Amino acid sequence: SQKIEQNSEALNIQEGKTATLTCNYTNYSPAYLQWYRQDPGRGPVFLLLIRENEKEKRKERLKVTFDTTLKQSLFHITASQPADSATYLCALDTGRRALTFGSGTRLQVQP
């Protein structure tokens, strides 16, 4: 069956360290992948998009990689801050004309 997996356990890191979140998928061949941030009680907010022919994308302290052989995307936040604490969702184009989302990983950055 088709699946998008994100680590359901919260990731706790110290301020200033790099946070790395993982998104794995099976049985899809997405043309692109997107990452969103969601704060409690709010809707998801778009962060980055990476296409299948791009290995890496950067935006300020954020970096996303996309390995279509491993069927995996990694989302990195460098020099993390307590304000980065949130749930991060990956979303794939699954050919349905609408995105399919993973269940998200909660990041907690300790001061």
Partner 1 sequence: NAGVTQTPKFQVLKTGQSMTLQCAQDMNHNSMYWYRQDPGMGLRLIYYSASEGTTDKGEVPNGYNVSRLNKREFSLRLESAAPSQTSVYFCASSEARDNSPLHFGNGTRLTVT
* Whole-number Å distance between alpha carbons of 29 and 91: 13
Binding-residue pattern over the window 28 to 57 for partner 1, x denoting contact by CB under 8 A: ---xx-x-x----xxxxxx--x-x------
Among 12, 14, 29, 103, binds partner 1 (CB under 8 A): 103
Binding-residue pattern over the window 3 to 22 for partner 1, x denoting contact by CB under 8 A: -x---x--------------
62 contributes a contact to partner 1 by CB under 8 A: no
Among 7, 20, 65, 100, binds partner 1 (CB under 8 A): 100
Q: Using alpha carbons only, give the angle 6, 7, 10 rounded to the nearest 5 degrees.
A: 130
* Whole-number Å distance between alpha carbons of 75 and 91: 12
* Whole-number Å distance between alpha carbons of 38 and 82: 15
Chain positions contacting partner 1, by CB under 8 A:
4, 8, 31-32, 34, 36, 41-46, 49, 51, 89, 91, 93, 96-104
